[in-house]
């Protein structure tokens, strides 16, 4: 009887004792590499879903933050992610939408990226965002949590620079995947970008053209490495937009609105040379007071304004050989040059850092 009573008294004590695993997860885990600790539900999520390889080291304390302007709660930043504790809403720990946030931070909302209408064989298409997912990113996406972990793809694969590394990346709602062919055959061929670190530190990468249709042409540019970084601020507003071209005796003029300003680029063929001008022509402004030889034309409107105001350009181009033509075009502005794709004619015009760095070719198929 005395032994039975002792067992009954011990039962509540046994039930109330937390497991060793729970105690370990509640206790802080310290990382001397960055000087921060993880604990509680965020530690449990970090350890259960890949730990250091997937999330990287913590780079902030756990603290209350307001996320995307509509939710406040416990948040902790990691090199590759931001973990949010939504336990009070019954959702547990969720990964932040850092892929979408990074694109927005660079003034390029994901909806402005060129979309596709389908996916090649062996790939997967997401009509929700208008993007495809192919190897090697597709297998990694499927093996490591899919939609819940990464979200929908927000871009097609494209080239991007990070320090000394240049390679193919693809952005998702919550992550950026990077393809490292130099690590082919290992589990590190696809790596997750350091989005947490980049957003916390305000890091901006060096971009190159994203359109799949332009990638081959871009890789053939002889002075490609001298073009510098992709100018997001200018190029985000210059994709598949209304434009105009006009051919001349010794070249071509191109016009497009970039934000609220007209920009004119002129290319001469002999010798090869690039000119760039701002254009401010308004309806009702006078056209050039000039007379063209038979069979040729005096440019009008914005082209005429630039042509008549710049004697060197006028002498280099000569007269127009045809009237101005409306076009659809994409213009990529770089730190040290510009790439223009006139979609109606499928011609690509590239100007580099030096005035005579000119590359004009049909788009590589």
d(CA 180, CA 189): 5
116 with 193, same domain: the answer is yes
**251 and 307 inside one domain:** yes
What is the pLDDT, as a whole number, of residue 10? 37
When comparing pLDDT for 121 and 158, which is higher? 121
Q: Are residues 109 and 92 in the same domain?
A: no
The DSSP secondary-structure symbol of 153 reads B
- Do the domain assignments include residue 138? yes
**109, two tokens:** 């909302």
Last residue of a domain, one of 79, 96, 113: 96
Question: Is pLDDT at 19 greater than 90 in this prediction?
Answer: no
- 358 pLDDT more than 90: yes
The H or E element spanning position 332 is strand 325-334
Total number of domains constituting the chain: 3
The mean pLDDT value of the chain amounts to 87
- Residue 8, domain member (yes or no): no
> How does DSSP classify residue 19?
P
Determine, yes or no, domain membership for 4. no
Answer with the one of 177, 207, 237 that is the final residue of a domain: 207
Shared-domain flag, residues 249 and 325: yes
pLDDT surpassing 60 at residue 22: no
345 and 234 belong to one structural domain: yes
Domain that holds residue 108: 104-207
Residues 108, 162 within the same domain: yes
Looking at the whole model, is its pTM more than 0.75?
A: no
Residue 212 located in a structural domain: no
Model pLDDT for residues 276-307, shown as the tens digit of each residue: 998 888 888 889 989 999 999 999 999 999 99
pLDDT for residue 259 is more than 90 = no
Each residue of 218-256: pLDDT tens digit?
A: 888 999 888 888 776 666 557 788 999 999 999 999 999
Residue 316 lies in a domain: yes
Domain assignment present for 340: yes
Whether residue 287 sits in one domain with residue 180 = no
Q: Are residues 115 and 85 in the same domain?
A: no
Instruction: Determine the average pLDDT of the residues in 205-213.
Output: 65
**30, 51: one domain:** yes
Residue 318 in tokens: 């000569």
């Amino acid at each position: 009887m005395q032994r039975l009573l002792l067992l009954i008294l011990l039962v509540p004590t046994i039930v109330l004792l937390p497991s060793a695993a729970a105690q370990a997860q509640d206790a802080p885990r310290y990382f001397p590499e960055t000087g921060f600790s993880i604990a509680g539900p965020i530690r449990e999520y970090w350890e259960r879903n890949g730990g250091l390889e997937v999330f990287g080291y913590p780079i902030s304390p756990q603290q209350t933050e307001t996320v995307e302007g509509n939710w406040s709660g416990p948040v902790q930043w990691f090199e590759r992610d931001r973990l949010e504790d939504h336990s009070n809403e019954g959702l547990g720990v969720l990964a932040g939408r850092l892929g979408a946030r990074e694109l927005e931070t660079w003034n390029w909302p994901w909806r402005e990226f060129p979309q596709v209408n389908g996916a090649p064989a062996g790939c997967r298409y997401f009509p929700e965002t208008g993007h495809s997912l192919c190897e090697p990113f597709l297998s990694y996406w499927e093996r490591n949590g899919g939609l819940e972990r990464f979200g929908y793809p927000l871009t097609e694969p494209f080239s991007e620079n990070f320090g000394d590394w240049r390679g193919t990346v693809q952005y998702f709602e919550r992550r950026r995947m990077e393809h490292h062919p130099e690590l082919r055959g290992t589990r590190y061929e696809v790596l997750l970008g350091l989005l947490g670190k980049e957003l916390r530190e305000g890091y901006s990468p060096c971009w190159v053209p994203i359109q799949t249709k332009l990638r081959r042409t871009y890789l053939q540019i002889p002075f490609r490495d001298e073009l510098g970084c992709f100018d997001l601020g200018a190029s985000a507003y210059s994709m598949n937009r209304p434009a105009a071209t006009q051919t001349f005796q010794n070249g071509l003029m191109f016009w497009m609105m970039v934000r609220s300003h007209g920009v004119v680029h002129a290319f001469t063929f002999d010798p090869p040379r690039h000119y760039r001008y701002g254009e401010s022509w308004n309806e009702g402004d006078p056209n050039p007071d000039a007379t063209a030889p038979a069979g040729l034309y005096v440019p009008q409107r914005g082209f005429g304004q630039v042509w008549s105001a710049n004697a060197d350009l006028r002498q280099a181009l000569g007269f127009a050989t045809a009237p101005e033509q409306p076009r659809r075009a994409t213009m990529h502005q770089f730190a040290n040059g510009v790439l223009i794709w006139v979609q109606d004619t499928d011609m690509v015009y590239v100007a580099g850092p030096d005035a005579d760095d000119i590359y004009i070719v049909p788009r590589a198929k």
